[in-house]
Amino acid sequence: MQCVINRRAEFSASHRYWLPELDDQTNREKFGNCGRFPGHGHNYVLYVSLMGEIDSYGMVENLSTVKGVIKQEVTSQLDYSHLNDVWEEFQQSLPTTENLARVIWQRLKSHLPLVKIQLFEHPRLWAEYQGNLMEATLTIQTHFSAAHRLALPELSLEENTKIYGKCARIHGHGHNYHLEVSVTGDIDPRTGMLVDLGALQQVVKDYVVEPFDHNFLNKDIPYFAQVVPTAENIALYIAQLLQNPIRELGAELDQVKLIESPNNSCEIYCRQGVQPLKSSSNIEPILVGTH
């Protein structure tokens, strides 16, 4: 029986995004505040996932051994370091979150049966790498507050209440939604990036956060005049909105996760494309409130 185990580790380090072959203005345009001298730091959280058979001791790997390998090969070298200088790999490409996850995999792969490296640079920014050449996944998290009502217009209040419960009440209710957007692509061998992070954040802001935030979705977003704004339908619509703009950035939308409350969330997997609902196939995605 195959089993996956996960080991957590931490390290604190600084880095700078700056390419010596570019002039100062081009570096500033490309990397923004991340190019400031001498750099900036993060408290990184690393998850190392291993897969294997459960042995006679009830373990996939001895966790004491795993802990020692991660410390020796990764955290003892990176903790309180300047990433650009500590490993030779970062002389050729920048230590972005996704590139750092990839290089950590390379450092550990001969020691442990790896299945995934997940690296959090920040609670709202993390990367995953699964050993697929230069391909990685980058995730950003954001939030918006919005109201909605769950009801089918052709049904009575009583009928809607039987389906949606309190969520069918006529004046609606609100949530503080948390949104995670994951994109996949190849890491650029020089910049260390799979996508321009600032551009990705701006796309999510323009297409989702600004139009949705502090609005009543049923009334202020035309799409939801005909589609019930359940968490599932909101996530699907967000995926529809983001798919092409993210592709224009050179990445592919991988997953949209919408957290409606601590008890409710949903995920849309997008690698095979996102198809609109049949009931709303005649409604084109509308971009509202962009800058």
User: Which residues are catalytically annotated?
Assistant: 167, 214, 260
Nearest to residue 150, comparing CAs of 132, 139, 140, 164?
164
Domain's final residue, options 100, 131, 162: 131
DSSP type of residue 213: T
Domain's final residue, options 81, 113, 131: 131
Interatomic CA distance for residues 113 and 4, integer angstroms:
10
Same domain, 154 and 280: yes
DSSP type of residue 196: -
Domain's final residue, options 99, 131, 163: 131
Here the CATH number for the domain that contains residue 51 is 3.30.479.10
Same domain, 138 and 273: yes
- What is the pLDDT, as a whole number, of residue 86? 96
Same domain, 212 and 235: yes
Each residue's pLDDT tens digit, 20-75? 999 999 999 999 999 999 999 999 999 999 999 999 999 999 999 999 999 999 99
Each residue's pLDDT tens digit, 108-146? 999 999 999 999 999 999 999 999 999 999 999 999 999
User: CA 109 → CA 128, 131, 180, 229, 274, distances in Å?
Assistant: 15, 9, 28, 44, 34
What's the domain range around 154?
A: 133-291
Same domain, 286 and 209: yes
Instruction: For residues 208-213, give the mean pLDDT.
Output: 98
